[in-house]
């Protein structure tokens, strides 16, 4: 008797055998240098997909980051100065 999936008497043995037969694929057959070369080829392929910013975008982004860092340095300095005076006031 069969149902929508397959035979009740015989499970999907063919599917299990095909999964076991494939052991390592391409990576299993290559040595460590082959795998390293594959890794670097994949890095280069991914870097080619990157949309690099133009010079004006890069300068804009750099300016925004520098301004943000300067503001954060100022904020941390003010908070540190306040805590310093608070500790001196509390502990004399």
Mean pLDDT confidence for 44-65: 96
Mean pLDDT confidence for 2-6: 58
What pTM, to 2 d.p., does this model score? Answer: 0.51
C-alpha pair distances (Å), 80 with each of 12, 68, 69, 84: 68, 18, 16, 6
pLDDT score, position 57: 97
pLDDT grade for 5, boundaries at 50, 70 and 90: low
Q: How far apart are CA 4 and CA 16, in angstroms?
A: 19
pLDDT grade for 39, boundaries at 50, 70 and 90: very high
Sequence-separated (6 or more) residues with CB below 8 Å from residue 7: 1
DSSP state of 5: S
With a pLDDT cut of 90, the percent of the chain lying above it is 64
């Amino acid at each position: 008797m069969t149902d929508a999936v397959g035979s009740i008497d015989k499970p999907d043995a063919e599917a299990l055998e095909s999964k076991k037969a494939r052991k390592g694929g391409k990576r299993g057959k290559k040595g460590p240098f082959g795998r390293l070369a594959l890794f670097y080829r994949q890095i280069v392929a991914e870097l080619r997909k990157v949309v690099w910013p133009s010079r004006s975008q890069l300068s804009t982004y750099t300016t925004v980051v520098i301004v943000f860092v300067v503001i954060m340095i100022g904020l941390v300095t003010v908070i540190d100065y306040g805590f310093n005076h608070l500790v001196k006031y509390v502990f004399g």
